[in-house]
Amino acid sequence: MGYNKRIDGRKNDEMRKIEAKVGVIKRAEGSAYFRIGNTWAYAAVYGPRELFPKFKQNPGTGILRCSYNMMPFSSSHDRVRPGGSRRSKEISMVTEKALSPVLDLSQYPNSVVDVFIELPETEAGSRCAGITAAAMALADAGIAMKDLVAAVSVGRVDDKIVVDLDYSEEAYEGGPVADIPVAMMPNSGEITLLQMDGLISKEKLKEALGMAKKALKEINEIQKAALKDKYKVV
Amino acid sequence: MYREIRNHIIKNLKAGIRFDGRKALEYRKPITVEYGFTKTAEGSAKVTIGETEVICGIKTEIGKPYPDSPNEGTMMVGAEFLPLSNPEFEAGPPGIDSIELARVVDRGIRESKCIDFKSLCLEPGEKAWTIIIDICPLNDAGNLLDASALAALAALKDFRFPKLDEDGKIVYKEKGTEKIKLLCEPVECTVIKVGEFFIVDPIIDEQKAVDARLTVAVLRTEILLLCRKAEIVL
């Protein structure tokens, strides 16, 4: 029979409702939130500032340090125990790798740019929301960037290719599911993050990435609009 | 450096002025409460006092009552000083300041007896609700304590018990409707002493110049419930 109609009624290439705002945390150098459906990420940027412990300093360049954390009440299931998990450490690392290609921190030797991502509410796609928010926060902090980074998940639910899988689709039991988070530099189209859980054919993967590219352009427009909105003359 | 700022604060207080133009016993404005801030929590709220923003979310679990109180459920308050909310907060396990904050909020709720712990019991000696209140600052512009206590109270007012299935397990798919009975509403107020002056709702600089601090929880009938005194020797 196949997966003919998406559980929440969206079109295959339709993302959940998106909301983005920049400058939401006053104490940070740069900040933003990005909300997609019931997934909500805040990001705050501090730095460039001196990196401690000192032995981690690099006299050649500044470094980017990302931290991804789910708030204890952010899961739609049981409470998330505070403190880093193996999962959050991995996501912190891939977030760093997804964002560092757009940054040039060589002007800031021995320094660190800290990006803290906190999620008050999650329902699938949280690493992508985190990366998208973090890119906006970095731009808001005035860090030199050659492009923004936008991220979204695409994937396969049974025989269909869909964008921005929600929890019910990730957990779909009527057929095979593949969940593919993609982060991209929207101007150049270069991919900075590509992960996948599940099985997919080569052709379907290409189709999915094409769909991701289109969705990421859309997200990029929202990012740019949110950044401009902060400096709107009232 | 703080000696100079402190001298400056005292000099200004002598003239009846604070850095942001407030009177000694005046809170920042606006003070806002947003109920149901995150949908994944069984109860949540965001509180702002001036630029300080705190989110509180409540999750619940079913556990075995303590042997010395078989007819009662339990409550736990946790606070994490997220590094996203203040450049001086470091990632890692909770520090003494966040532990103190959590315990002061805990005591305000517990000692005011606003929750009837007997009402949290499902099966005497076997099953009872554990209410877990988590506090996450979003922007720390001073006086996290009063904001956190208010957020915890607001989240309790927003709290709905989740539904249980036939096996007594929590059903997360649909939200419950039953509220928790609150017998009173404790609000905490912190007064700090700088030199010979007493002020409420300190901003960060004032907080760092503190000589003594006192937090009281009050009810509508203005009964003094708890005292917590911390003295800092400069």
Q: Which residues of B touch A26 (CB under 8 A)?
A: 51, 139, 141
CB A3 within 8 A of CB A175: yes
Q: Of A143, A131, A230, A137, which is closest to residue A185 (Cα–Cα)? A: A131
Q: How many other CB atoms are found less than 10 A from the CB of residue A44?
A: 32
Q: What is the mean pLDDT of each run of 10 residues along chain B (234 residues)?
A: 86 91 92 95 96 96 92 94 94 89 92 90 92 96 96 96 89 87 90 93 92 86 55 43
Model confidence pLDDT, tens digit, residues A47-61: 899 999 999 999 999
ipTM associated with this complex: 0.89
A192 touches chain B (CB under 8 A): no
Number of H-type helices and E-type strands within chain A? 4, 9
Alpha helices in B85-142 (DSSP H): 96-111
Q: CATH homologous superfamily for B2-231? A: GHMP Kinase, N-terminal domain (3.30.230.70)
Q: Of A145, A151, A155, A98, which is closest to residue A128 (Cα–Cα)? A: A151
A168 touches chain B (CB under 8 A): no
* Distance separating alpha carbons of residues B67 and B191, to the nearest angstrom: 39
Count CB pairs under 8 A between chains A and B. 92
φ, ψ of residue B13 to 5 degrees: the values are -65, -35
The pLDDT value recorded for residue B66 is: 93
Q: How many other CB atoms are found less than 10 A from the CB of residue A37?
A: 21
Q: What is the mean pLDDT of each run of 10 residues along chain A (234 residues)?
A: 84 94 96 96 95 93 95 92 91 96 94 96 95 97 95 93 92 91 94 94 94 95 95 79
Q: Of B54, B59, B67, which is closest to residue B39 (Cα–Cα)? A: B59
Q: How far apart are the first and last CA of chain B?
A: 12
Residue in chain B lying closest to A77 (CA) = B172
Q: How far apart are the first and last CA of chain A?
A: 54
φ, ψ of residue B57 to 5 degrees: the values are -130, 145
The pLDDT value recorded for residue B232 is: 46
- The owner of tokens 């929301």 is A129
Q: Of A23, A20, A16, A45, which is closest to residue A35 (Cα–Cα)? A: A20
Residue to substitute from A17, A26, A27, interface B, most B β-carbons within 10 A: A27
A33 touches chain B (CB under 8 A): no
Domain boundaries, chain A: 18-228
pTM (2 d.p.): 0.93
Residue to substitute from B48, B90, B129, B138, interface A, most A β-carbons within 10 A: B138
Residue to substitute from B38, B56, B84, B85, interface A, most A β-carbons within 10 A: B84
Residue in chain A lying closest to B133 (CA) = A73
* Distance separating alpha carbons of residues B162 and B179, to the nearest angstrom: 10
CB A77 within 8 A of CB A13: no
Angle at B133 between CA B132 and CA B134, to 5 degrees: 115
Q: Of B28, B21, B18, which is closest to residue B142 (Cα–Cα)? A: B28
User: A18-228: which CATH topology?
Assistant: Ribosomal Protein S5; domain 2 (3.30.230)
Packed helices B96-111 and B144-158: angle between N→C axes, nearest 10 degrees: 50
* Distance separating alpha carbons of residues A27 and A47, to the nearest angstrom: 12
Q: Which residues of A touch B144 (CB under 8 A)?
A: none
- The owner of tokens 């965001």 is B46
